[in-house]
Amino acid sequence: MRIAFLDSGLGGLTVLKEAMDRLPHERFVYFADTLHVPYGTKPKEEVKQYIFRAVETLLAYDIKALVIACNTATSIAVEDLRAAYGFPIVGMEPAVKPAVAKAASAHKRVLVTATPLTLREAKFQELVAKVDEEHLVDSLPLPELVQFCEELQFDDEVILPYLEQKLAPYDMRQYGSLVLGCTHFPFYREHFRKLIPGHVEVMDGSFGTIKRLQQVLGEAGAIKERGESELIWVTSGGKPEEARSLEKAFHFLQTK
């Protein structure tokens, strides 16, 4: 049986990489919704339909667990998906809690970056309300970064001026942590690093999500302990160049 990963596009690869490092004998299927990417700038109900369609497609791949490797999809659909399907479903959420804990102890602020849809969802607002008693959290939508990633655009000359302009209103010396609350954004970790002071911790949710996946599979006695790992690409557009693009982006991640 396989572990399924689902994202609007290339972003979930940052989570898949963590999973393949930590679960080296598993069979994986990665779904990119190439027909509908990006999710983060579309209306919630529309995106929810795409997500359910994607999961229906994944059912054909004999799956034992699903990782929603997308903060946006998790925030709008994880509860409904869990109610609809019997297999374990692990989602993602912006790492606000550890970021606040870290920043507060140093009397600093937290900047959460994500898609516009994630940031305006109740799930995110509730998470912040729960952990941010001192009102330390600011949020910054970066939808263009998703587009750049989908175009495999990683050039400093393009990305640095874009991020510089977006970060300009924030005095980053006042911040203790920067949250990458969209799975596309860890592709740009080094770009962020070049623009922010060394003391600012850059956090994403991949590690926590995969730890949770290991725990869930472990409890079900469903971890594959030996044998070759396997990875297949599935895209909603179904074009060979889409799979090639996934391959290329994954290779980029593995070599950087």
Q: Which is nearer to ligand DGL, 177 or 206 (CB)?
A: 206
149 is catalytic: no
Q: Which is nearer to ligand DGL, 10 or 29 (CB)?
A: 10
Look at residue 88 and give its three-state secondary structure.
Answer: coil
70 is catalytic: yes
The pairing of beta strand 2-7 with beta strand 63-68? parallel
Shortest Cβ 44–ligand DGL spacing (Å): 12
CA-to-CA dists, residue 103 to 118, 138, 145, angstroms: 22, 12, 25
Q: What is the DSSP letter of 34?
A: T
Shortest Cβ 213–ligand DGL spacing (Å): 16
| Residue appearing with tokens 């994944």 | 58
Q: Which residues bind ligand DGL (CB under 6 A)?
A: 7-8, 11, 37-40, 70-72, 115, 118, 146, 182-184
Q: Which of these is catalytic: 19, 65, 70, 104?
A: 70
Shortest Cβ 25–ligand DGL spacing (Å): 26
102 is written with which tokens?
A: 């870290």
Q: What is the DSSP letter of 108?
A: -
Q: Which is nearer to ligand DGL, 34 or 177 (CB)?
A: 34
Look at residue 137 and give its three-state secondary structure.
Answer: strand
Q: Distance (Å, rounded) from C-alpha 207 to C-alpha 223?
A: 17
Shortest Cβ 85–ligand DGL spacing (Å): 20
| CA atoms within 13 A of residue 234's CA, in its CB half-sphere | 17
Q: Which is nearer to ligand DGL, 45 or 225 (CB)?
A: 45
Look at residue 125 and give its three-state secondary structure.
Answer: helix
- Among all residues, whose Cβ is closest to ligand DGL? 40
Q: Which is nearer to ligand DGL, 19 or 104 (CB)?
A: 19
Q: Which of these is catalytic: 182, 203, 213, 243?
A: 182
Shortest Cβ 14–ligand DGL spacing (Å): 9
DSSP-H helix ranges across the chain: 13-22, 44-58, 71-84, 96-105, 116-120, 122-131, 143-150, 156-167, 189-195, 206-219, 240-255
Catalytic residues: 70, 182
